[in-house]
Amino acid sequence: MQNLKLGVQIGNLYLKNPVMPASGAFGYEMESLFDFNDLGAIVPKSITKYPRGGNATPRVCEITGGMINSIGIQSKGLAYYLEELIPNYQKYDTPLIASISADSVDEFAEMAEIIGRESTVSGIELNISCPNLEGDGNAFGMDAELSYQVVKKAREATDQPLIAKLTPNVTSIQEIALACESAGVDGLNVANTILAMAIDIHTRKPKIGNVLGGMSGPAIKPIIVRMIHQVRGVTNLPIIGCGGVMTWEDAIEMILAGASAVQVGTSSFINPMAMMEILEGIKEYMIAYEIEDIRDLIGKVELPIQENEGVRIAY
């Protein structure tokens, strides 16, 4: 099969293929390893308005099936991002999705407006998994009303395609997805890390300086697949699956659950070529199953019974 169609849409944002880095797991240094033109999108680490030092160390620890991190959005600030970082990506024919983290609803809107003016930026990912410092410190994305407000104000501030990166640390991810949809988001990232803790039994101290951190890697994939499926059940918005994509098989699984694209985080720390290998594997799968267009796979999980509305709990 010669003409494999790998392109997918997130609102007005066209991705030539469905594989991109997860924010925080991508760096310009990777340039020497593969051609960034081969990615579906470039997603650098979340940027904050002002420079930030990050959380107490240790900031990462390995666990069975993945890792826990609590970097705390270490950031050189918006001015550095605009002057030094964004211009670097200009030479690539790959859309740049800027991930933004903010401390308040208004700061999200302000940053979306400023970054939205950059001609090199093709989309904005709102990292609503970060704590709301003006409120109770919980993530914006844990609260449907706050999620709505962040998206709504960012929507008013820019015409750029907007993606809301949801937190999985909620009871009903569908509720948050719907709030973001009604506020005018173009796509949903499902999802960020899962709140976790690990203790060193010899020192009796938490393995993360900040005590709690976010768990990523293969162990969280089934949870993320479940959430993609649940979100797909309530909205037709394009979904980017993120959490535990280590191989091309994981990417296909998320696409079948309802994702239009996937992001790769932890896997790239282990194997910096992971994204390229995942892309090759997707192509081989499509050839093997004679699927010309990747879009024919999105949400094509074959369920044993017709689902009723809402959550089906089948143990």
Ligand X SMILES: Cc1cc2nc3c(=O)[nH]c(=O)nc-3n(C[C@H](O)[C@H](O)[C@H](O)COP(=O)(O)O)c2cc1C
Q: Does 22 bind ligand X (CB under 6 A)?
A: yes
Q: Does 266 bind ligand X (CB under 6 A)?
A: yes
Half-sphere exposure of 88 (CA within 13 A, CB side): 16
What secondary structure letter does DSSP report for 296? Answer: G
The CA-CA-CA angle for residues 287, 253, 220, to 5°, reads: 145
Nearest CB to ligand X, comparing residues 276 and 291: 276
Number of residues that bind ligand X (CB under 6 A): 25
Q: Which of residues 196-255 bind ligand X (CB under 6 A)?
A: 216-217, 220, 242-245
Compute the distance between CA of residue 41 and CA of residue 37 in angstroms, rounded to an integer.
Answer: 9
* Nearest Cα to Cα of residue 198 among 207, 190, 189: 207
The residue within the footprint of ligand X, chosen from 18, 24, 141, 168 (CB under 6 A), is 24
Q: Which stretch binds ligand X (CB under 6 A): 141-149, 204-212, 265-273, 277-285?
A: 265-273
The residue within the footprint of ligand X, chosen from 251, 261, 264, 286 (CB under 6 A), is 264
What are the structure tokens assigned to 65, written together?
């099936």
180 is catalytic: no
Compute the distance between CA of residue 276 and CA of residue 291 in angstroms, rounded to an integer.
Answer: 20
* Nearest Cα to Cα of residue 163 among 141, 192, 185, 191: 185
Letters for 285-314 (x = contact with ligand X by CB under 6 A, - = none) are ------------------------------
Q: Does 70 bind ligand X (CB under 6 A)?
A: no
C-alpha pair distances (Å), 11 with each of 15, 68, 184, 185, 224: 10, 32, 11, 9, 22
Nearest CB to ligand X, comparing residues 4 and 74: 74
Catalytic residue among 61, 130, 180, 242: 130
The residue within the footprint of ligand X, chosen from 23, 70, 167, 260 (CB under 6 A), is 23
Q: Does 192 bind ligand X (CB under 6 A)?
A: yes
Residue 123 host element (H or E):
strand 121-127
* Nearest Cα to Cα of residue 214 among 198, 196, 199, 200: 196
Q: Does 41 bind ligand X (CB under 6 A)?
A: no
Q: Does 169 bind ligand X (CB under 6 A)?
A: no
CB of 246: closest distance to ligand X in angstroms? 8
CB 278 within 8 A of CB 40: no
Per the DSSP assignment, residues forming a β-bridge with 97 are 123
Nearest CB to ligand X, comparing residues 24 and 40: 24
Q: Could you list the residues that contact ligand X (CB under 6 A)?
A: 22-25, 45-46, 69, 71, 73, 99, 127, 165, 192-193, 216-217, 220, 242-245, 264-267
Active-site residue set:
130
